[in-house]
Each structure stands twice: as C-alpha cells, then as structure tokens.
Structure 1
C-alpha cells in the first residue's frame, strides 16, 4: 500500500511528484481504453458497415449498463483510500466490493443483453444491426460478472495509491483483446471464424486475464494488500451508501447526454459528425482531467482517513491548480488550432467548419472543467458522493439542457447548445467550489491534524 499523505510544509515539487505519480497511469489507462474501442470498430470494419454500426451502438449502450459498476467501484475506491490513510486493514472493503459487484452483475447475465437490444430497437436501430449486436453482446453478458469484479479490483488498487499496476494490466488487456478479437473475427491460425461475436470474445478474454492477475496479486503476492475474504454488514451498508449516488449520477448523466446530443442531431448529419469529431479531440483533455480527478479522490480519501485536514485541503487545491494549468494549455491548443486538429477526422469542409466552432467554444471551458472534476473527486474521496450527484445532474439540466431547449426556439443554430455547454461548465465549477468549501467548514471541528 502507498499512503499518499500531503504535507503542506513540504516543497511543491515533492507534492507535485506524488500527485503526478498517481494521475499519470490513470490517464494512460483511459487512453488505452479509447484505443481498445477504436480497434474494435476497425477490426469489424472488414465485415460490413452494419457490423461497425452494431459494435459502435453496443459500446455506447454498454456505458449505460456499466454505470452500475460505479456502485462497487466508488465504494471500494473511497473506503480503501480512507482505510489506508487511517492505517487500517482495507481487505474487508475489497471483499465487500467484490460481493456487491457480483450480485449486481448476476441478473445482467440473464437479462442484460435483452435490455440493451430493446433500447437499441427503441432508438431506431435496424433489424440487421440488432441481430449483429446480439452476436457481439452474447459472450460479454455471459461473463459480465467477471468484468464487474475486475473493475472493483481496479478501484481497490487506485484507492490504495497503486495506479501503476492497473496501467500494466490495462496494457496486457489491450494486447489480448485486439489479438484475440482479430483471430476469432476472421478465423486466423486455425481458430473458428466467429465474425462480430469474435470481437465480444476479445473483450471477455481480456477481462478474464485481468481478473486472474488481480486475484493472483492480492491473494498470492498480497499486493497492494492481502485479500482475506471477510465481509461485514457495516462495510456493505457503508459501501452501498457511498456508491449508489455515483451509480445514479452516471446513469442519469448518460441518458441526459443523449438528450443533449439529440439537440445537435436536429441540425443534420454533418453538424452531428462535427460534434462527434470535436468530442474525440476534446477527449484527450478530458482524460487528463479524469486522471487527476481519480488522484484527487485518493488524496482526499487517504488524508481524510488520516485526519490530516491541512494536507487534504492543500493536496486538493494543489491538484486543482495543476490540472487547470494543464487543461488550460490544452484548451488554448483547441482554440488556436481547431482546423488542423479536425482535418485527420474529416475532409468535408462543412464538417470541419462546424468542428472548428465546437473546439473554440469548448476550449474556453477546459479550465473550469478542471476545477469541477477535481472538487467533485475530492468530495467523493471524503465520502460525500451525494453532493456530486446532485450538482452534476442539476447543473446539466438547469444550465445546459433547459436553456438550450428554450433558446433553440428563437435561434436555430448548433452554437446555442455548444455555448450553453461551456456556460454550464463555469457554473458547475463554481457550485463544486462552494460545496467543497462548505464541506471543509463542516468537517473542521472533528479533525485533529496529523503530521505526514
């Protein structure tokens, strides 16, 4: 285990090193997941356009299903961080997280695929796409309990301050997924030719490998701490209390985001394509923010558990300013070079023109986004997951969706929702800052600061 306790008196370079050491592997992991998704689409592109549509649509809807992972992942990550910070045994937390993730995923083994296919049909997918999606999703849902438990292991390692090991595991997962999927899709090296289903088996084999590696590390090598299967009612209830708001938040946000994209879709395929291009380019900046958000959760959780309030405050604020500086630079790149960033994704002049507008507008929001995700992560680390749920959902609807809907009645332009997207991010950052300050005032009397 690695205790990441922050000493405000230590040199800034020392604290920066701790934070970057935590965040960098998480950024790499997210980049690898992005590469994995891209390769899934590339590999099935040799089958047909319908196969690409099926896998792409399935991946989008799987994110809605995977929002349930947040219940066990968040509870495990936060409570492990707090236990490590307090110098207590985090093994019961991981055991409880694995049990919860298994129980959540078990019904999905039998009903999950049908739910996804129903949503797909409801959203207008053709019979051919639904049929191919069924082939792709079948092995994934057969082994979805493994995927959920693997994600819980990932949360435990992050909470314990070991983000390098999951990065190495993610590299192996990518290699296994891509190579296995290629062989099974096209029947290479004497293996059966499974078509789209082969891509699903690629995901399954990569998750099985990761699960076995995590099990070996925790049970045999006792890294980052020994896993002793011990579950108690109090830990289970605390985990559900902490994890449920995040799971609800992700599910509602996923659906809300699709509502927002629906506004863009009304302006035609080229504007929608420009929006998708912009999202993928902006995603690089978001991955940086997400990596540091997880770092802020670990820092807040461990220092909260150690009752080191000065270190918690200093660590979160230092992380917020560092993230804002990095994302600010990336935002400036989006503003200054939007056309050159868009060209690799499309040669259509209209798509490029709208993508340029999107990137300039969204580039302005990178700094407030940095502060929003860091303070959100810090509140989760302190176990206050209900606050981020309320702020994120309320902010998305009150400042983004509803104003966009009303203004579009008078100004028919995609610039309207894009503008409110940036305005909303500034307001969300302010709300999170005020919520974090309020929580610090509430916690101050109960803390007795400890030295690093």
Structure 2
C-alpha cells in the first residue's frame, strides 16, 4: 500500500499544483476585478460558467488522449499513442475555430440567454468574446496536457501550467488598473490577459511536444503517418461520449446559474464567490481523478487490471483525506475568505453561509472525480455518459427549480440541490467502479469498436 501511495502522490502532487495554479489564478483574478463592483463579479462568474460549458463540450478529446495514451504507454506501444494524439490535435484545431466564431458573432446573445440584467449583458459582452478566443487555445492545451499526463509527465505538465498562469495573473492586474505604464482597460484588460496567457501556453506545449519529447518518443517522425479511419472513429466516439458527459454536467450548471440569476445580481455574485472558493475543493478532486486515469490506464496497458483497481481505491482514499482537511479550513475561515472578494456585506455573508453548508459535502464531488477517473482508465465511457445525463436532467435541474422557485429557498436551496446531485452522482460512479468485472478489462482497441 505504501508503495502505491508514494506513486500516487508522485503523480498527483504535480497535478494538484497544476490545477491549483489555474484555480488560484482564477480566484485572485476574481478578487482583482471584484473591486470594480458586484456587477463585474457577476459578469466574470457567469462567463466562467459559459466557458465551462464550452470547454466541457470539447474536453472529451483531452480526456480520451489521456486514457488512451496511458494505456499505450503501459503497453509499450507509443507509436500508436502518438498517432492517436495527432488525430486528436487535428480535431482540436477544427473545434477551436468553431469556438472562436461563436465568440465573434454571439457573445452578447450567450450572455443574454443566462437571464442576466441588460446592464450585465452590455458591460460584459466584449469580455466574454475575449474569453471565447482564449478557450480556442485552451482546448488544444488540454489535449497536450492529456498526452503529458498519459505518459506520467505530470511534473512537466505542472511547469507548463505555471509558466502560463502566472503571467495571466500579472497581466490581469496590470491591464485592469493600468499599472506601470500599461493601459487601464478595466474588465476588458482581464479578458486580454487570459487570451495572451492561453495562446502563449499553446506555443509552449507545441515546443515541448515537437522538440523536447521528440528525443524520447520521435514525435515528429509520425507526423506524416497515414491515419486509419478506424482509429479516428475510435477517438471521435470516445471523445464524443466523454465530451457529452462533461457537457451534460456543465449545461445543467449553466441552467442552475440562470436560475440563481433570477434571484438578483447580489445573489448571483454571492453564488459565484462561493463557487470560486469551493473550486479549491475541485482542485484535489480533479488532480487525484486524473491520477486514477493515468495509473489505472497504465496497469490495463500492462495487462494487470486488478492492480489498477487497487491503485484506484488507494487514489480515492488519499484524495478524500485532502478534501476533508481542505473542507475544515473552509468551514472555519469562511467569513474571512469571502470578505477578500468584496466589501458588499450581503454578498460576502451569503457566500460564507453557502461555503459552510458545503464544506464537507464536497467529499461527494471528490468521489465522483476519483472513481470517474478510474472508469476512464478502463475505457468505461458509455456508463459515464449515461449516468451524467440521468442525474443532471432528471435530478439536478428539477430539484434546483423546486428548491429555488417552488419552495422559495433562495440561494441556500440552490446549493442544497447542487450537493444532493453530487452525492447521488458520486455514489453511483463509485458503485460502478466496484461492480465492474476487472478480470474482463482489456486494452482499448479500435478494432473492437
């Protein structure tokens, strides 16, 4: 067990730092622009939800690269792993152009559909447009990181994340308030900072893949390979299932946000502050979930899936410990943390109450990520799609509507519906993990599709 725990932490800690850097940057950015008022907080929060949906729809490509490359790496067949990565990259480029087009022609309409006030739409439309452009680079970056994690290079992934996220943070401050000779652009400056950071990260990822990793994996050698349609079909199918799974979840969160928006700008701002803080709980959940995908996938590739089951369990145990410790800190210091975001008493007091309510309930989000990561490692993507659709649309959305509008429970009702949903989702995925016949798990092959 101790050996497993060391290997898990060796992979998980860099992933944790990588996700933490993005989370911390997002949190500090919200604090920076939050000084411009509760309307700006609401705009950034709603934009984050919209970007989460855009990312989720295409994130399946990165998840697919992650688990297929992990299996190929374990099997010692990196020629196929690199070939699959190229196919995924071409898909990402096509979708990146589509995302940029949506931002160009429809940013204001997308904001309007959230149900925010006319002032929110007018003030935030160009900021959202810039975020769409940044997301075009973001989905490409996510696929590159999927490759790095698949080969176990989580430290390298961490370094790349830090190289991109730290400049985003600096530029947000400089461009928002016009410090040290930079123009004072307000909210637009924060949008430009994100775009610059994501595009720079794409260049860094390309350099690593085509230059640094070429020495070990001959990544440039396979650039001119003739791709088999059956491999492309596999990647499209797996990416579609994982993308729709994430999109089902994120779209339900979008509707949830639209429901909260009907409670007013202050309630929406408090909701976004609380979500921003609780994203620190998502951080270890994602990190250990990603680690489960890597290790389970590699053991499947080696032909020892039962060892993958064991390491998946150990990953969930370690991740849960992290979440309990984090939840304790959030519960104790909720008031002080929320006060960092805004001086609006109604906003930070409501946000603090939401955080205390959910501090320990976030363990269910952890279970969801840990065991979903394990299921991705064995390629059980169909179940993940189905359960995500069922609990998102037949539980979460109806329950949120009931608590917010029928029972008139306001923001607290919204968050109770959120964590009821995560509890059912997390326990369902955990049950599936342990009910799987691991002796029958095999390497994912295109010919078997």
Q: TM-score, normalised by structure 1?
A: 0.83
1:28 corresponds in structure 2 to 17
Residue in structure 2 matching 1:393, options 389, 396, 406: 389
3-state secondary structure, aligned to 1:68: helix
2:321 corresponds in structure 1 to 325
3-state secondary structure, aligned to 2:409: coil
1:85 corresponds in structure 2 to 74
- Shift of residue 79 of structure 1? 0.9
- Shift of residue 426 of structure 1? 3.0
- Shift of residue 57 of structure 1? 4.1
1:205 and 1:321 mapped to 2: Cα distance? 38
Partner deviation per Cα, 1:34-68 (whole Å, 9 max, x = no partner): 33334545666788887666555444322222223
Is 1:64 the counterpart of 2:58? The answer is no
The alignment's C-alpha RMSD in Å is 3.4
2:65 corresponds in structure 1 to 76
1:177 corresponds in structure 2 to 168
1:290 corresponds in structure 2 to 286
Is 1:104 the counterpart of 2:86? The answer is no
Residue in structure 2 matching 1:208, options 180, 196, 199: 199
Is 1:437 the counterpart of 2:434? The answer is yes
Structure 2 unaligned spans of 5+: 444-449
CA contact (8 A) 1:243 1:385 kept: no
- Shift of residue 370 of structure 1? 2.3
Cα pair distance change 1:144/1:326, threshold 3 Å = closer
Cα pair distance change 1:349/1:300, threshold 3 Å = same
CA contact (8 A) 1:400 1:417 kept: no
1:271 and 1:135 mapped to 2: Cα distance? 23
Is 1:374 the counterpart of 2:370? The answer is yes
- Shift of residue 201 of structure 1? 3.6
- Shift of residue 432 of structure 1? 1.0
CA contact (8 A) 2:103 2:130 kept: no
1:165 corresponds in structure 2 to 156
1:237 corresponds in structure 2 to 233
CA contact (8 A) 1:187 1:194 kept: yes
CA contact (8 A) 2:378 2:441 kept: no
Residue in structure 1 matching 2:425, options 420, 424, 428: 428
2:417 and 2:130 mapped to 1: Cα distance? 40
1:325 and 1:427 mapped to 2: Cα distance? 20
1:145 and 1:396 mapped to 2: Cα distance? 26
1:304 and 1:155 mapped to 2: Cα distance? 17
- Shift of residue 324 of structure 1? 1.7
- Shift of residue 278 of structure 1? 3.0
Structure 1 unaligned spans of 5+: 1-11
1:225 corresponds in structure 2 to 217
CA contact (8 A) 1:137 1:197 kept: no
Greater Cα offset, 205-214 or 75-84: 205-214
1:131 and 1:410 mapped to 2: Cα distance? 31
Q: TM-score, normalised by structure 2?
A: 0.83
- Shift of residue 163 of structure 1? 1.1
1:344-359 correspondence runs (5 A): 344-345=340-341, 354-359=350-355
- Shift of residue 312 of structure 1? 0.6
Is 1:251 the counterpart of 2:247? The answer is yes
